Amino acid sequence: MSRNADPQFWNDARRHLIRYGGRFEPLIIERARGSYVYDADGRAILDFTSGQMSSLLGHGHPEIAAVVADHAANLDHLFSGMLSRPVVDLARGLAEATPAGLDRVLLLSTGGESNEAAIKMAKLYTGKFEVVGFAQSWHGVTGGAASATYSAGRRGYGPAAVGSLAIPAPNAYRARFERGGQPDWRAELDYGFDLIDSQSSGSLAAFIAEPILSTGGVLELPPGYLAALKRKCEERGMLLILDEAQTGLGRTGHLFAFERDGVVPDILTLSKTLGAGLPLSAVLCSAEVEERCHERGFIFYTTHVSDPLPAAVGLKVLEVVRRDGLTERARQAGARLEAGLRRLQDRFECIGDVRGRGLLLGMEIVADRGSKRPAPELGAAITRACMDLGLSMNIVTLPGLGGVFRIAPPLTVSDEELDLGIDLLGRALETATAAGFTKA
């Protein structure tokens, strides 16, 4: 019998765990190293999602492990009114790594926390309360962050925060606005803000956006969109908050995704990739924003604000990414991965679209390219076949979209591992399409 079937383990899991969404894989993961996780039978599973899209340097990176061991023994946690060198050093490092105007830093634990803090700061700074997001967004599951999250989790909990508004995100594959047969995101953005202006009570505080909406189906904001969005915000006295939980620290081929567009947000939030799999997040803003919020009594005490251990980890992550040229590596590896996915697209009619940037790519599964009709059963079958073959893949399904695989290996992934992943994915597609679906 497989050790993954340990009856005591699964009985305890059923009896004692609160289920928080989706289903658990019928595996017991015992360890992880590099680009692989290993189950109770010792089987290696290639991790094409970097854990929860977070393990930027792979699992068990020796330098990260050394930092954790040192600080766990010597300086792990402090009263929130105390400061340590890792906290100040990381704040300085992030300020130096970002453009002017992102000079003040708050260190927290999760992406939801950092977005919660950013939203509160925007409201306090502007004296307004309305927050606009994308209808396909995911920013967290706490209060204000959940109110700005529209891709899931809104039903059954009562009203969201007053002033929560949304516009559609641009989707070139399923464009709702076209001109001359091409997606017209400018018309869509104008229309979205016409609706916002109609609904607003005159208290627009902020727009919060991901440069690539990951949970929303790996929807990349096209070149020029961020600049146009920033102008919309400035015209209305709003702040622009960019949530780079998954795109930050090199994954897209830029240290920060917004750098491609030459647009500096008023507030930047980082999480997932900053801690490389450990709980660390950050809020960055200008000195002006921080000073005004401080004058108006900004409070964001959390148990682990400014903790030294995760700060030391973030400092090491920033060092490794820059020292080892991992931003450029993400660009090169992403090109190799995208080429492999497009070769599969040539073979399989069910791959409707391949999109994204660097090592954050999406592959949308449809019944056929002509209709672009969603095929959730096929997506689920491909996911199962991947896991059977030893490839961990993550698929998200939203109304109106086919299932979209979010593909985000660590920046340390080797060419051989990328090629293996493409091969395994191709074999999984063969298996799933052989069960009644048509190939190209």
272 is catalytic: yes
**How would residue 162 be classed by pLDDT, with cut points 50, 70 and 90?**
very high
Q: Among residues 113, 130, 243, 307, which one is catalytic?
A: 243
Give the residue-averaged pLDDT of 325-331: 98
> Nearest-CA neighbor of 306 among 38, 109, 62?
109
Angle at 136 between CA 270 and CA 174, to 5 degrees: 125
Concatenating the DSSP letter of every residue in 90-103 gives HHHHHHHHS-TT--
What is the model's pLDDT at position 151? Answer: 87
- Which is catalytic among the residues 210, 220, 261, 266? 210
Contact criterion met (CB below 8 Å) for 360 and 56: no
pLDDT tier, 26 (very low <50, low <70, confident <90, very high otherwise): very high
* Given 232, 246, 307, 417, the catalytic residue: 246
The pLDDT score that the predictor gives to residue 439 is 45
- Residues 197-244: pLDDT tens digits? 999 999 999 999 999 999 999 999 999 999 999 999 999 999 999 999
Q: Which domains does the chain have, with CATH numbers?
A: 15-47+327-434 (3.90.1150.10), 64-323 (3.40.640.10)
Whether pLDDT at 410 is above 90: yes
Query: Do the beta carbons of residue 408 and residue 364 sit within 8 Å?
Result: no
How, if at all, do strands 204-209 and 130-134 pair? parallel
With a CB cutoff of 8 Å and minimum separation 6, the contacts of 153 are 141, 146
pLDDT value at position 438? Answer: 45
* Given the residues 39, 104, 136, 138, the one annotated as active site: 138
Asked whether residue 327 carries a pLDDT value surpassing 90, the answer given is yes
Average pLDDT of span 324-331: 98
Kindly give, in sequence order, each residue whose CB lies less than 8 Å from that of residue 183, ignoring residues fewer than 6 positions away: 170, 171, 172, 175, 177, 222
Q: Which of 104, 230, 406, 417 is catalytic?
A: 406
> Is 230 annotated as catalytic?
no
Determine how many CB atoms are found less than 10 A away from the CB of residue 227.
12
Active-site residue 138, yes or no? yes
Single pTM value for the model: 0.96
What is the share, in percent, of the chain residues with pLDDT greater than 70? Answer: 99
| CA 89, 91, 92, 93 torsion-angle sign | positive
Q: Which two tokens stand for residue 298?
A: 């900004």
DSSP string, 382-412: HHHHHHHHTEE-EEE--TTS-EEEEE---TT
User: Which listed residue (272, 316, 329, 357) is catalytic?
Assistant: 272
| Structure confidence by residue, pLDDT tens digits, 292-320 | 999 999 999 999 999 999 999 999 999 99
Residue-wise pLDDT for 181-194, tens only, equals 899 999 999 999 99
Q: In the structure, what pLDDT confidence band is assigned to residue 152 with cuts at 50, 70 and 90?
A: confident
For 208-220, give one letter per residue: b (16+ CB within 10 A) or e. Answer: bbbbbbbbbbbbb
Q: What is the pLDDT of residues 33-59, one digit of tens each?
A: 999 999 999 999 999 999 999 999 999
- Residue 10 known to be catalytic: no
- Give the pLDDT band (50/70/90) at residue 436: low
Q: What is the pLDDT of residues 345-357, one digit of tens each?
A: 999 999 999 999 9
246 is an active site residue: yes
Q: Where are the beta strands (DSSP E) in 100-200?
A: 104-108, 130-134, 164-167, 178-179, 182-183
Q: 440 falls in which pLDDT band (50, 70, 90)?
A: very low
* Mean pLDDT score, 81-102: 97
Kindly tell me if the per-residue pLDDT of 437 is higher than 70.
Answer: no
Cα 264 to the center of its chain, rounded Å: 19
